[in-house]
């Protein structure tokens, strides 16, 4: 989303030396579970390096000291490409409630209160329901799914998400036959998300899917990444991941789901309808009014690395192409 100031659209802003390798991250978590400041922890901390420890203990990183989620491998993992580092996944974010710069959510989202947390389900359902986050976590086995993540701003990542198909929750919601769309609303508290006024978005953040898109098995109700619960800046404690659509369709920190008969208003479409459509399928043949969507840059690669060709539906045509047969995707962008 390009409304105001932005960082570079590639990973060059973060020198390779600053990237926390997953192994170090695991080591850090083991230490923090045992109590980093005890004698044994202090010895190991020395081995890690004082600067790195200071970095890991910084408020922006504390959100990672979290519980591992039990996962099963998923047949719906859809890419064998190199994973984007945890450091990049958690420090190059769009979460405008916590600031418009990519680095701000990691610095500011630590105050997001992720417990207690509920999702209220309403609208065209047999009966309204409220799901507690801990109930949701046990509703279905959690899967690890590696998906491509393509932002409308032309950067991309490859992320091992943790969750299960949204359809598992949708079935529990018992939507009526008249429900044709689903709306997702994010948490909004201006006292916590003090950066809300920087972007001009009408809050709370709202996104929507057509019912068949919501029921597609690829649409992931996401609770974690890299085997752990979601860091706050990535949309804790529960978000959506819709891998064939531009990143903004994936609402973070969801508190309400509504089943509707007509298309719900969505935040970016509301802000600039000619730039951000309701569908927002990744589509190299439909340019954004201000730039081509034919190419993308993988975050973490050097600035001079060759750009990648963007794939139709982000490479998920086999799974989702049929949802749009007969539709003019230049009109329904």
At closest approach, how far in Å is the CB of 248 from ligand MTE?
3
Ramachandran category for residue 284: left, alpha or beta (phi over 0 → left; psi -120 to 50 → alpha): alpha
Q: Indicate the residue whose CB is closest to ligand MTE.
A: 247
At closest approach, how far in Å is the CB of 100 from ligand MTE?
9
Burial of 74 (0-12, 13-18, 19+ CB in 10 A): buried
Report the sign of the C-alpha dihedral through residues 194, 105, 204, 155, in that order: positive
Nearer to ligand MTE, 85 or 234 (CB): 234
Q: What is the DSSP letter of 76?
A: T
Nearer to ligand MTE, 56 or 254 (CB): 254
At closest approach, how far in Å is the CB of 187 from ligand MTE?
7
Distance CA 114, CA 112 (A): 6
At closest approach, how far in Å is the CB of 198 from ligand MTE?
11
Q: What is the DSSP letter of 12?
A: G
How far is residue 308 from each of residues 11, 156, 222, 245, 295, measured CA to CA in Å?
Answer: 14, 9, 26, 17, 5
Q: What is the DSSP letter of 38?
A: S
Residue ranges in contact with ligand MTE by CB under 6 A: 1, 93-97, 149, 151, 186, 205, 234, 247-248, 250-253
At closest approach, how far in Å is the CB of 311 from ligand MTE?
17
At closest approach, how far in Å is the CB of 172 from ligand MTE?
23
Nearer to ligand MTE, 205 or 333 (CB): 205
Nearer to ligand MTE, 56 or 230 (CB): 230
| DSSP element (H, E) containing 215 | helix 211-215
Nearer to ligand MTE, 8 or 47 (CB): 8
Nearer to ligand MTE, 45 or 264 (CB): 264
At closest approach, how far in Å is the CB of 237 from ligand MTE?
13
In sequence order, the β-bridge partners of residue 245 are 281
Nearer to ligand MTE, 254 or 320 (CB): 254
Three-state helix/strand/coil letters over 100-142: CCCCHHHHHHHHCCCCCCEEEEEECECCCEEEEHHHHHHCCCC
């Amino acid at each position: 989303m390009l409304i105001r100031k932005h960082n570079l659209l590639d990973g060059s802003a973060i020198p390779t030396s600053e990237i926390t390798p997953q192994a170090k991250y695991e080591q850090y978590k083991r230490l923090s579970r045992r109590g980093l400041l005890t004698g044994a922890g202090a010895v190991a901390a020395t081995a890690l390096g004082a600067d790195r420890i200071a970095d890991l203990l910084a408020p922006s990183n504390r959100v990672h000291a979290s519980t591992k989620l039990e996962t099963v491998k998923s047949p719906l993992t859809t890419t064998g490409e190199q994973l984007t580092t945890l450091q990049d996944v958690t420090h190059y974010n769009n979460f405008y409630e916590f600031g418009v710069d990519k680095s701000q959510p990691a610095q500011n989202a630590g105050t997001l209160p992720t417990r207690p947390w509920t999702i209220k389900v309403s609208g065209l359902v047999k009966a309204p329901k409220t799901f507690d986050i801990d109930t949701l976590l046990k509703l279905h086995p959690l899967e690890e799914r590696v998906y491509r993540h393509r932002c409308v701003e032309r950067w991309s990542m490859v992320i091992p998400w943790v969750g299960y198909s949204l359809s598992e929750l949708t079935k529990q919601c018992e939507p009526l036959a008249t429900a044709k769309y689903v709306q997702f609303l994010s948490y909004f508290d201006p006292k916590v998300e003090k950066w809300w006024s920087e972007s001009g978005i009408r809050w709370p953040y709202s996104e929507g899917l057509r019912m068949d898109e919501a029921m597609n098995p690829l649409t992931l109700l996401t609770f974690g990444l890299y085997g752990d619960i979601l860091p706050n800046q990535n949309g804790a404690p529960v978000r959506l991941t819709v891998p064939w659509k531009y990143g903004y369709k994936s609402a973070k920190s969801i508190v309400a789901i509504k089943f509707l008969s007509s298309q719900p208003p969505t935040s970016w479409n509301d802000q600039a309808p000619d730039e951000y459509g309701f569908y927002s399928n990744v589509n190299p043949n439909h340019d954004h009014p201000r730039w081509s969507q034919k190419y993308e840059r993988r975050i973490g690669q050097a600035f001079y690395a060759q750009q990648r060709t963007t794939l139709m539906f982000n490479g998920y045509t086999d799974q989702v192409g049929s949802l749009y047969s007969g539709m003019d995707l230049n009109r329904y962008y």
